[in-house]
Amino acid sequence: MSERITTPKFRVAFPNVFDAKAPIQGGDAKYSLCMLFDANADLSGLKQICQEAAEEKWGNKIPAGIRKPLRDAGDKDYDGFEEGMTFVNASSKFAPGIVDQKLNSIISEDEFYGGCYARASVTAYAYDKAGNKGVSIGLQNLQKMAEGTPFRKSAESSAGAEFTVVNVDDADAEDAKALFQ
């Protein structure tokens, strides 16, 4: 496993940092989140620990086509994923510590949510399991840096978009009551 580094500031997406969740395809439950980095973020530290993890696992013979943790966010159709951004998924079997700007513990999903801004301490590790080879990011701890507009879940739509204005007068209200008496 590589050294621990602190990432640049990122936008949080899909945070599962209070309760571990099992992947859809099965496996152990993990704590996780997706880190969305702006196009101008300095990702050299992340790239370096990924390279070190790959070299530690395979030496100078890193397999071609391994899965890499830094990916283009423009390929995804989710809130906050924009052209030029890079996304990185990070996970851990252990709950990350989460603090705010003043190092106070955050224990509520209302305070640490998809759409806020944070930074993380992470490591990288290489894997070769069941024919899958690649490098992943291990989540250690998180610090919330700033508020942000919360992301909506992709399956949600706004209530205002699903309904129309209804004018209800007293007579309609009485008719409605009579239906269920």
Q: CA–CA separation, 123 vs 91, rounded Å?
A: 10
Tell me which residue of 126, 119, 113 sits closest to 152, measured CA to CA: 113
Q: What is the mean predicted confidence (pLDDT) over 74-85?
A: 86
- Domains delineated in the chain: 5-156 (2.40.50.140)
Q: For 36-40, what is the mean pLDDT?
A: 96
Chain-wide mean pLDDT for the chain?
88
Please say whether the beta carbons of 7 and 117 come within 8 A.
no
Please state the pTM of the whole predicted model. Answer: 0.80
More confident residue, 67 or 164: 67
Q: Name which of 38-42, 116-120, 154-158, 174-178 the model is least confident about.
A: 154-158
How far, in Å, CA of 145 to CA of 32, rounded? 18
